[in-house]
């Protein structure tokens, strides 16, 4: 007898989703919510999205709803829009051969829910539910939920040969849910790690990132212990310095917005690399320029001490920029245990008083300097920097006449 009694499980399905199920039902088709949303709802977690699976063919789905978008019609997916929100409705399907271990050569639509559930990766991802039929649990997923286990649907060796991304997903779900990977599935992972060479960096990265952002980010260590590290950071010398267990125990301290969490946890992951190495690693991982800039910036400045004093803080702000400065402060506080409150107080004073710390804050521009007789070229920039240094030390100087006076005096 397990904790989740299949006969007593009722899921609070949102109204819009209920309507979609009913419309399909009334037209004579089968329809269920399926996959991650059923898993999360049973666990008492808030589902991220509500996916629907149906015996209706894509064209039949489209004919039943006034507002649909063809988001993945070749795979049988139609997005139905209800009250401004999109819900993916996918026709029951069987995945064809995975010739390259990457994506199915073709998909075949089927009238059998069982066939559709069989193609799914893990038992806890293979539930269907409808208000009439309750939970459909063909692979003892409820028992695995109860025992907190990630287990493949069917033969793990076959499933990982079809699509090696499932290896990454196993670790990802184990981190998100704090589940263990069941032993037979775990053994098969060991045998199929090599197949990850057929999976694109983009797909690998998505799973790695979800692991790093999960509530148990330390479980990312499994990637290294299971031999997957070099598929995540595809450079032998760099990956050796990542996956530091001691740092991994600090990942969970990093909270904030999704982006703050992402860049700070990535920086922690690259803690033992130089800024240049971090850039190289992130490029290999096909990260966007903004992420590369912020993460390598955190690494570049994390070990630079800033005096708790206005001029020093303004100079650091000038060098790092406001956004990076705040991130570096957080990083030092959370990962290096360096108190940041004193600097934050000074930072607030600078911001509240709108004290200048950038060239653009100066009361004179490059054009002003040229008009004042400074020849076009490098000297303009040098002079602006010289003025900024003086203004950083003494904000009272930041007036047009005063600054032009300073230049006149210097030029003798
Ligand atoms: P999340 O909460 O991250 O959205 P999820 O379980 O919904 O988790 P998705 O990646 O959105 O995961 O996929 C939806 C469902 O599709 C899964 O629950 C699973 O049933 C199936 N699925 C997704 N990817 C695979 C795959 N590579 N192999 C087999 N089944 C998969
Ligand atoms: Mg999902």
Ligand number nearest to the C-alpha of 104: 1
Distance between Cα 346 and ligand 2 center (Å): 44
pLDDT at 4: 85
Global pTM? Answer: 0.93
pLDDT at 331: 98
Distance CA 168, CA 230 (A): 13
Long-range contacts, stretch 279-284, CB < 8 angstroms, 24+ apart: 280/235, 280/238, 281/233, 281/235, 281/238, 281/242, 284/201, 284/233, 284/234, 284/235, 284/238
166 lines ligand 1 (CB under 6 A): yes
Joined tokens for residue 386? 């010289």
Ligand number nearest to the C-alpha of 125: 1
Q: What is the mean pLDDT, run by run of 10 residues, along the chain of 412 residues? A: 80 97 98 98 96 98 97 94 97 82 78 97 98 97 98 98 96 98 98 96 97 97 97 98 95 96 98 98 98 98 97 98 97 97 97 97 96 93 96 97 92 76
165 lines ligand 1 (CB under 6 A): yes
Residue pointed to by tokens 């212990």: 225
Joined tokens for residue 264? 């700070």
Given ligand 1 and candidates 32, 36, 76, which is best to mutate, with the most ligand atoms within 8 Å of its CB?
Answer: 36
Distant-in-sequence, close-in-space partners of 342: CB < 8 Å, separation ≥ 6 = 308
Ligand 1, atom 30, lies closest to the CA of 120
Given ligand 1 and candidates 33, 35, 103, which is best to mutate, with the most ligand atoms within 8 Å of its CB?
Answer: 35
pLDDT at 100: 63
Q: In sequence order, what are the beta bridge partners of 69?
A: 79
Residue 305 lies in a domain: no
Ligand number nearest to the C-alpha of 35: 1
CA dihedral 98, 99, 101, 105 (to 10 degrees): -40
CB-based contact 130:38 (threshold 8 Å): no
Distance CA 277, CA 275 (A): 5
Residue 13 lies in a domain: yes
Ligand 1 atom with least separation from CA of 162: 28
Residue 260 lies in a domain: no
Ligand 1, atom 15, lies closest to the CA of 35
Residue 38 lies in a domain: yes
Q: What is the CATH number of the domain that holds 44?
A: 3.30.460.10
pLDDT at 223: 98
pLDDT at 99: 63
pLDDT at 1: 53
Question: Final residue of a domain: which of 82, 108, 140?
Answer: 140
Question: Final residue of a domain: which of 83, 118, 140?
Answer: 140
Question: Final residue of a domain: which of 119, 140, 161?
Answer: 140
Ligand 1, atom 3, lies closest to the CA of 36
Q: In sequence order, what are the beta bridge partners of 128?
A: 34, 136
Given ligand 1 and candidates 33, 96, 98, 125, which is best to mutate, with the most ligand atoms within 8 Å of its CB?
Answer: 125
For the chain, how many structural domains are there in total?
A: 2
Residue 317 lies in a domain: no
Ligand 1, atom 26, lies closest to the CA of 121
Distance between Cα 183 and ligand 2 center (Å): 25
Ligand number nearest to the C-alpha of 121: 1
CB-based contact 242:269 (threshold 8 Å): yes
Ligand 1, atom 8, lies closest to the CA of 36
Residue 173 lies in a domain: no
**Domain of 383?**
356-412
409 lines ligand 1 (CB under 6 A): no
Residue 332 lies in a domain: no
Residue 18 lies in a domain: yes
pLDDT at 2: 64
Distant-in-sequence, close-in-space partners of 358: CB < 8 Å, separation ≥ 6 = 317, 318, 388
């Amino acid at each position: 007898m397990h904790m989740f009694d299949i006969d007593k499980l009722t899921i609070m399905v949102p109204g819009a989703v209920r309507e979609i199920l009913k419309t399909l039902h009334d037209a004579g088709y089968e329809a269920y919510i399926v996959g991650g949303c059923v898993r999360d709802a049973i666990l008492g977690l808030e589902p991220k999205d509500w996916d629907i699976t149906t015996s209706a063919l894509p064209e039949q789905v489209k004919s039943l709803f006034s507002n649909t978008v063809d988001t993945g019609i070749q795979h049988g997916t139609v997005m139905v829009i209800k009250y401004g929100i999109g819900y993916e409705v996918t026709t029951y399907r069987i995945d064809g051969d995975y010739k390259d271990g990457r994506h199915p050569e073709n998909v075949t639509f089927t009238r059998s829910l069982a066939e559709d559930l069989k193609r799914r990766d893990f038992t806890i991802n293979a539930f269907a539910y409808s208000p009439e039929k309750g939970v459909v649990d063909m692979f003892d997923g409820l028992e695995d939920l109860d025992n907190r286990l990630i287990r493949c649907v069917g033969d793990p060796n076959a499933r990982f040969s079809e699509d090696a991304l499932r290896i990454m997903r196993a670790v990802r779900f184990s981190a998100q849910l704090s589940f263990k990977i069941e032993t037979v599935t775990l053994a098969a992972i060991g045998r199929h790690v090599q197949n990850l060479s057929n999976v694109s960096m983009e797909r690998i990265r998505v799973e790695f990132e979800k692991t790093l952002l999960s509530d148990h980010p330390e479980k990312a260590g499994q990637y290294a212990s299971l031999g997957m590290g070099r598929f995540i950071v595809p450079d032998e010398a760099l990956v050796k310095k990542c996956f530091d267990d001691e740092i991994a125990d600090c990942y969970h301290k990093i909270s904030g917005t999704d982006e703050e969490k992402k860049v700070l946890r990535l920086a922690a992951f690259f803690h033992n690399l130089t800024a240049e190495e971090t850039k190289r690693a992130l490029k290999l991982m096909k990260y966007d320029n903004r992420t590369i800039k912020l993460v390598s910036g955190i690494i570049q400045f994390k070990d630079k001490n800033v005096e708790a004093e206005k001029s020093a803080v303004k100079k650091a702000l000038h060098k790092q920029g406001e956004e990076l400065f705040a991130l570096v402060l957080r990083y030092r506080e959370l990962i290096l245990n360096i108190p940041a409150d004193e600097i934050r107080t000074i930072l607030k004073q600078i911001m509240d008083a709108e004290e200048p710390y950038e060239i653009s804050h100066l009361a004179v521009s490059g054009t002003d300097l040229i008009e004042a007789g400074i020849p076009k070229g490098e000297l303009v920039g040098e002079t602006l920097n010289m003025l900024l240094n003086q203004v950083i030390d003494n904000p009272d100087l930041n007036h047009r006449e005063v600054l032009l006076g300073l230049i006149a005096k210097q030029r003798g």
